[in-house]
C-alpha cells in the first residue's frame, strides 16, 4: 500500500518518470562530487556494525548503492512518501534483509521515534532545499542529529538555488526563456524561505555537532552534470513553477503561458555553449563521543 504524508510538499509527481529523473540526478551528482560518502567520514567496509540512514531518500538509489559497496552495513531509508521506494521483494532478494525503507517526515515534531534514536554511524541528507522552509530546517537538522550514535556523522548535501545563473562560452546565445524561468524560480523560493543551505553549518553546531566542515563544489565543471541540469531547468522547472504559482508571490507568473515558455526554453537549451552555473555545498559534522 502506498503512503504519502499529508504534509508532503514535493512539487513533482511521484511517478516512474520522476523516479527515473531522481536516479539520473543521483548518478550525475556522484559523478560531479566523486564520492557517495565524504572522505572525512571514517567508514570501513569490514566494519560489521556500521549502520547508515538516508533521510529524504526518494527512490533509495543512494542507499542501495551504499548497501552494495558496504556488504555488512545495515541501511535504513526515510522519506515522507513511500511511493518511490524499491520493491520489498527486490530488497530481500538483493540485500538479505539489510536494507529497509520507512515513510517518515524529516521535519516531524517527534523526530523518528525512540526506536531509531542514537542508532546510526552515518546519517546522509541530500537536496531538501525545495521541500522544507523556515523553522523546518532547524527541526530537520535536530531530527537527523538525534539518529546519530555518539561519534556518528551527519553528511548533508544541498544548494542555494538563488545562486544559479546562466553562463555561456560563445557569443549571441539565446537564453531569455531560461532566464525567465530562473527568475521566477528564485522569486518563489524567496517567498517560501527555502534554499537555506547557507544556514546549515550554524544549525549543525547548534544541534551539538562538532568538527563541522563545509565545502563548496562547482558541479557545472562536470560535463555530465552540466547537461543533466540544463535539461532539468528546461523540462522540469516550468512544471515546478506552475504548481507553486499559487503559493509564491502573486504576479506575472500566475498568467504565464507555461507551455510556450517551456518549449522556448527547451529550444534554447539545445544550443551549444550555454549552461547553468551551479554550486553545491557538502556539510559534514560529528556527534561528540
Residue 44, classed as helix, strand or coil, is coil
Most confident of 36-45, 204-213, 257-266: 204-213
Q: How many CA atoms lie within 13 A of 202 on its CB side?
A: 6
Over residues 231-253, the pLDDT tens digits come to: 888 888 777 777 665 554 444 55
Which H or E element spans position 120? strand 120-126
The gap from C-alpha 164 to its chain's centroid, in whole angstroms, comes to 16
Q: Does residue 228 surpass a pLDDT of 70?
A: yes
Strands 74-79 and 99-103: parallel
Q: What is the pLDDT of residue 238?
A: 76
Whether residue 6 is contained in a domain is answered as no
Whether residue 258 is contained in a domain is answered as yes
Between 73 and 236, the more confident residue is 73
pTM summary value: 0.89
The domain total for the chain is: 1
Whether residue 3 is contained in a domain is answered as no
Average pLDDT over residues 210-228: 92
Q: What is the pLDDT of residue 248?
A: 44
Q: What CA–CA distance (Å, rounded) separates 243 from 34?
A: 33
Whether residue 230 is contained in a domain is answered as yes
Q: Does residue 199 surpass a pLDDT of 90?
A: no
Query: For position 139, which CATH number holds?
Result: 3.40.50.150
Nearest CA to 254 among 177, 184, 182, 179? 184
Identify the domain containing residue 254 by its residue range: 16-286
Farthest-apart Cα atoms in the chain, separation: 59
Whether residue 62 is contained in a domain is answered as yes
Average pLDDT over residues 138-146: 97
Rounded to the nearest 10 degrees, the angle between the axes of helix 237-244 and helix 223-235 is 40
Q: Does residue 6 surpass a pLDDT of 60?
A: no
Q: Which single residue is written with the C-alpha cell 522544507?
A: 132
- Portion of the chain with pLDDT greater than 90, in percent: 52
Average pLDDT, the chain: 86
Q: What is the pLDDT of residue 31?
A: 92
Query: Per-residue DSSP letters for 253-268?
Result: GGG--HHHHHHHHHHH
Whether residue 51 is contained in a domain is answered as yes
Q: What is the pLDDT of residue 250?
A: 45
Between 133 and 12, the more confident residue is 133
Q: Does residue 46 surpass a pLDDT of 70?
A: no
Whether residue 93 is contained in a domain is answered as yes
Question: Are the beta carbons of 32 and 222 closer than 8 angstroms?
Answer: yes
Q: What is the pLDDT of residue 283?
A: 97
Whether residue 166 is contained in a domain is answered as yes
Over residues 89-131, the pLDDT tens digits come to: 889 888 988 999 999 999 999 999 999 999 999 999 999 887 8
Amino acid at each position: 500500500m502506498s503512503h504519502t504524508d499529508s504534509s508532503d510538499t514535493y512539487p513533482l509527481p511521484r511517478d516512474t518518470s520522476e523516479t527515473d529523473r531522481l536516479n539520473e540526478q543521483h548518478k550525475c551528482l556522484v559523478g560531479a562530487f566523486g564520492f557517495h560518502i565524504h572522505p572525512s567520514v571514517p567508514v570501513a567496509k569490514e566494519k560489521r556494525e556500521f549502520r547508515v540512514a538516508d533521510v529524504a531518500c526518494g527512490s533509495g538509489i543512494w542507499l542501495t548503492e551504499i548497501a552494495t559497496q558496504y556488504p555488512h552495513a545495515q541501511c535504513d531509508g526515510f522519506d515522507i512518501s513511500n511511493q518511490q521506494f524499491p520493491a520489498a521483494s527486490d530488497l530481500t532478494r538483493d540485500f538479505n534483509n539489510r536494507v529497509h525503507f520507512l515513510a517518515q517526515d524529516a521535519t516531524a515534531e517527534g523526530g523518528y521515534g525512540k526506536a531509531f534514536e542514537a542508532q546510526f554511524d552515518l546519517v546522509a541528507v541530500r537536496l531538501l532545499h525545495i521541500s522544507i522552509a523556515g523553522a523546518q530546517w532547524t527541526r530537520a537538522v535536530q531530527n537527523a542529529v538525534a539518529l546519530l550514535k555518539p561519534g556518528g556523522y551527519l553528511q548533508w548535501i544541498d544548494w542555494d538555488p538563488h545562486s544559479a545563473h546562466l553562463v555561456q562560452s560563445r557569443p549571441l546565445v539565446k537564453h531569455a526563456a531560461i532566464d525567465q524561468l530562473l527568475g521566477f524560480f528564485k522569486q518563489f523560493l524567496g517567498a517560501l524561505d527555502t534554499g537555506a543551505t547557507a544556514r546549515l553549518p550554524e544549525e549543525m553546531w547548534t544541534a551539538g555537532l562538532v568538527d563541522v566542515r563545509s565545502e563548496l563544489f562547482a558541479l557545472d565543471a562536470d560535463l555530465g552534470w552540466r547537461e543533466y541540469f540544463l535539461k532539468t531547468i528546461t523540462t522540469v522547472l516550468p512544471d515546478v513553477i506552475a504548481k507553486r504559482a499559487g503559493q509564491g508571490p502573486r504576479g506575472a507568473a500566475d498568467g504565464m503561458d507555461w507551455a510556450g515558455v517551456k518549449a522556448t526554453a527547451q529550444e534554447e537549451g539545445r544550443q551549444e555553449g550555454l549552461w547553468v552555473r551551479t554550486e553545491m555545498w557538502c556539510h559534514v559534522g560529528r556527534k561528540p563521543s
